[in-house]
Chains A and B, each alone.
Chain A
């Protein structure tokens, strides 16, 4: 199975900050990488797919980049609703592994 490792596991930031979360795959996954945001008590919500394509309706402050094994999710200016947990997910090979999550907390 492909292993997905996110860093950091947790992060403290303030409204308006720019933050970056990284995701590393244990083997090359081309651009088969998705990012989700999960607010407490809610289902995950798709933000970005194919490493860099913004899902319809997702604010432009979210962006993604990378290919191969290294990927990043950047939020350009944090909003209150962005304090949540973020997951990357590979869709290159079953079992379509998710990263362990990055919890973004208010400083």
Chain B
């Protein structure tokens, strides 16, 4: 069965860096677009970034452009999110999700359990 397992969440000071990882199994990772979605404590969901199956296409929401970098290693079935210049407002649970396209759009059909990132002094 499809499994996505995030790791790397931690407490970090403002301005600091952190790298999240997502280990995928149960499907052909190299065939699928992948994404990061976050949820601040007690708040709603926010798409952060996605990467195409080959890694050639990468997209970010405006609030993380220039600070976050998404990447993948298809040989290791792994997705990554390098987060630099972290701010208090980046505090959230970060979910790794598989992105699936359909005729009129796309969805996130499988999600990991999430990794908590806390940015605080």
Contact = CB atoms under 8 A, between A and B. Distances in A.
B45 A95 contact: no
Contact of B104 (A38, A50, A95): A50
Interface string B51-71: 000000001011000000000
A43 B105 contact: no
Nearest to A55: B109
Interface string A12-44: 000000000000000001111110101000111
Contacts of A34: 105, 107-108
B61 A50 contact: no
A101 B46 CA distance: 12
A95 B105 contact: no
Chain B interface secondary structure, helix, strand, loop or mixed? strand
Interface stretch (B72-80, B82-90, B110-118): B110-118
Nearest to A49: B107
B25 to A, nearest CB: 16
Interface size class of A (residues with CB under 8 A): 20 to 34
28 contacts: A29-B105, A30-B104, A30-B105, A31-B105, A34-B108, A38-B45, A42-B113, A43-B95, A44-B37, A44-B45, A44-B95, A44-B108, A44-B111, A46-B107, A46-B109, A49-B107, A50-B104, A94-B59, A94-B61, A95-B47, A95-B61, A96-B47, A96-B106, A98-B47, A99-B44, A100-B44, A101-B44, A101-B45
Given A43-B114, A46-B108, A87-B44, 17 more contacts: A30-B104, A31-B105, A42-B113, A43-B95, A43-B111, A44-B111, A49-B102, A50-B104, A55-B109, A91-B105, A91-B106, A92-B105, A96-B47, A97-B47, A100-B44, A101-B44, A101-B45
